[in-house]
């Protein structure tokens, strides 16, 4: 058994009452996945390769050379997967649309066979009473668009807006929650900075250009969606906003390191998206890398679109200090690289936060989630929040009877959902929570090594087995209350 979560120094304070935390009646309980991580069928029905197909097929890029060619075969098994969601009493399901499946090569007309898959999936969800939440971009850029420059190229933002409009037109009648981008930080800083994600480039200036064009893509796509979606539809973005903490809270140098990383992790996206401007000190801190002349006069207005909600993805906080020379090889939790994902911050060291860790090596700290929710409650007053991802990887294994018992994941979920509950009590408008992930899947550079699912997948047979956390979560969803963690 893991140590009860309330005994570690960094966990959420124990509620004084013994009553089970109860959520608002309309609170949505969901699970999330993404296209490349689950669908497989990479060469079917006209789909063309994305940067993740190319990257995962490049030797040395993913653990064991794993690819998403088959993933968990969701493209063919979606009906059974939706039935499983129903069995688990999910109220909502967040999935992503594969861009190269609906607009092969990233240009030209939409392909009906690709769109039909998402029509069938959403019909199935609606038939089971499960609310679909659609992410337009979860990292699978069509390879042709990368060949034309990728996210550092301005045109990619316009291509994305066109694609968003096509999907909006096709599915706007049945999807009410739309997320433009998933974690643009990972796309820009891991894809073009440290290179541990596709397309695997390591160019500090291109990283910041990519970040700007992802912001522009979000703004233009939001405008395109507004033209096709019915007024009831909500448009949001999912940010992996980090809770960044200084190693020595009294050290001015560590606080300055915290400020700089916070700008590169958070301000670079929420600045323009929520406030219509980049943090001024982000521009000056990175002046040695770029002059930011890629920002055109009307861009900030285009990016700063009214949103209906903000999605927050949270796993673990960051702990930083000032360091004259930070280590040259670093693991940022997504993979090791000799290149920093943080342009202009080579003199910042990252530390392991104290406390227990998940199988990813990520410290379990629900206070970071509470802090994050309260931060955005202050930064964007009145903007409803969804936790669009939260969860943990563990080394799950079936017992001799084939059952998968994962008490550590139950403790993780209990701790973080308690933090959400506390934030709601503190005045935050959190409308729902999406557990990452519905089922075990392709965990990017880690391949199939890391299991995040509430449902266990036997990759040899594709058999799905709900873990004990899935049953625990189903009970929470059914009762709108957190069952005890043990
Ligand atoms: C997030 C990604 C998601 C998954 C989890 C563990 O950064 O959005 O696809 O990999 O991490």
- Is residue 332 within 8 Å of residue 349, measured between CB atoms? no
Q: Which tokens go with 111?
A: 């392909």
Is residue 178 pLDDT above 70, yes or no? yes
Strand 92-96 versus strand 28-32 pairing type: parallel
33 lines ligand 1 (CB under 6 A): no
186 lines ligand 1 (CB under 6 A): yes
- Phi-psi map region of 413: left, alpha, beta (phi>0 left; psi -120 to 50 alpha): alpha
Instruction: Break the chain into its structural domains and give their ranges.
Output: 28-479
pLDDT tens, residue by residue, 263-281: 999 999 999 999 999 999 9
What distance in Å separates the CA atoms of residue 86 and residue 165, rounded to the nearest whole number?
30
Is residue 453 pLDDT above 50, yes or no? yes
What distance in Å separates the CA atoms of residue 212 and residue 233, rounded to the nearest whole number?
26
pLDDT tens, residue by residue, 335-354: 788 899 999 999 999 999 99
pLDDT tens, residue by residue, 385-406: 999 999 999 999 999 999 999 9
Q: Supply the angle between the helices 112-127 and 74-87 in degrees, to the nearest 10.
A: 10
Distance 167 CA to ligand 1 centre (A): 23
Identify the residue whose tokens are 């190319």: 54
Q: Which tokens go with 51?
A: 């940067």
Given ligand 1 and candidates 198, 312, 436, 453, which is best to mutate, with the most ligand atoms within 8 Å of its CB?
436
Q: What is the pLDDT of residue 4?
A: 31
365 lines ligand 1 (CB under 6 A): no
Segment 325-332 mean pLDDT: 59
pTM of the model: 0.96
Mean pLDDT of the chain: 95
- Is residue 183 within 8 Å of residue 151, measured between CB atoms? no
Residue 443 labeled ligand binder: yes
What distance in Å separates the CA atoms of residue 315 and residue 243, rounded to the nearest whole number?
10
Cis peptide before 325 (omega within 30 of 0): no
Segment 115-133 mean pLDDT: 98
Q: Supply the angle between the helices 204-228 and 155-171 in degrees, to the nearest 10.
A: 30
At 327, the pLDDT band (50, 70, 90 cuts) reads low
Atom 2 in ligand 1: residue holding the nearest Cα: 183
Given ligand 1 and candidates 184, 198, 313, which is best to mutate, with the most ligand atoms within 8 Å of its CB?
313
Identify the residue whose tokens are 């199988």: 359
- Which one, of 113, 77, 221, lies nearest residue 157 by Cα? 221
Identify the residue whose tokens are 């910042």: 348
For the domain with range 28-479, which CATH number is right: 3.20.20.80, 3.40.50.20, 3.20.20.150, 3.20.20.10?
3.20.20.80
């Amino acid at each position: 058994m893991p140590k009860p979560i309330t005994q570690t120094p960094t966990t959420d304070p124990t509620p004084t009452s013994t009553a089970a935390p109860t959520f608002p009646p309309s609170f949505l309980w969901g699970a999330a996945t993404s296209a490349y991580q689950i669908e497989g069928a990479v060469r079917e029905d006209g789909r063309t390769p994305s940067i993740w197909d190319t990257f995962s097929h490049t030797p040395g890029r993913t653990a064991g050379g794993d690819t998403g060619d088959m993933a968990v075969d969701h493209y063919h098994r979606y009906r059974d997967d939706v039935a499983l969601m129903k069995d688990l009493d999910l109220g909502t399901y967040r999935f992503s649309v594969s861009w190269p499946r609906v607009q092969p090569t990233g240009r030209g007309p939409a392909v009906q066979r690709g769109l039909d898959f998402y029509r069938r999936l959403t019909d199935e969800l609606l038939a089971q009473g499960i609310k679909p939440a659609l992410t337009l971009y979860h990292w699978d850029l069509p390879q042709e668009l990368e060949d034309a420059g990728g996210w550092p190229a301005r045109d990619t933002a316009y291509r994305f807006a066109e694609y968003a409009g096509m999907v909006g037109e096709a599915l706007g009648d049945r999807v009410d929650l739309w997320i433009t981008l998933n974690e643009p930080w990972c796309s820009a800083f891991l894809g073009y900075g440290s290179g541990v994600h596709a397309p695997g480039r390591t160019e500090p200036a291109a990283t910041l250009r990519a970040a700007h064009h992802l912001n522009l893509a979000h703004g233009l796509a939001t405008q395109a969606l507004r033209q096709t979606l019915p007024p009831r539809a909500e448009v949001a973005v999912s940010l992996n906003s980090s809770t960044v903490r200084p190693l020595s809270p009294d050290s001015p140098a560590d606080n300055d390191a915290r400020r700089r990383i916070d700008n590169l992790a958070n301000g670079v996206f929420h600045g323009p998206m929520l406030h219509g401007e980049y943090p001024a000190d982000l521009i000056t801190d990175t002046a040695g890398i770029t002059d930011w002349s890629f920002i055109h006069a009307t861009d900030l207005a285009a990016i700063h679109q009214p949103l209906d909600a903000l999605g927050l993805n949270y796993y673990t906080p960051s702990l930083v200090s000032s360091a004259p020379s930070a280590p040259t090889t670093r693991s940022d939790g997504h993979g090791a690289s000799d290149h920093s994902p943080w342009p202009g911050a080579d003199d910042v060291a990252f530390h392991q936060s104290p406390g227990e860790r998940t199988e990813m090596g990520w410290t379990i700290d629900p206070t970071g989630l509470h802090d994050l929710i309260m931060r955005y409650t202050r930064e964007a007053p009145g903007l409803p929040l969804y936790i669009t991802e939260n969860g943990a990887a563990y080394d799950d294994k079936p017992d001799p009877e084939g059952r998968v018992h994962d008490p550590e994941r139950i403790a993780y979920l209990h701790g973080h959902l308690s933090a959400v509950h506390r934030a709601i009590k503190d005045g935050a408008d959190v409308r729902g929570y999406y557990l990452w992930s519905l089922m075990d899947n392709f965990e990017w550079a880690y391949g199939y090594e890391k299991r995040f699912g509430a449902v266990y997948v036997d990759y040899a047979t594709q058999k799905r087995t709900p873990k004990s956390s899935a049953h625990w979560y189903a009970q929470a969803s059914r009762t709108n209350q957190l069952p005890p963690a043990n």
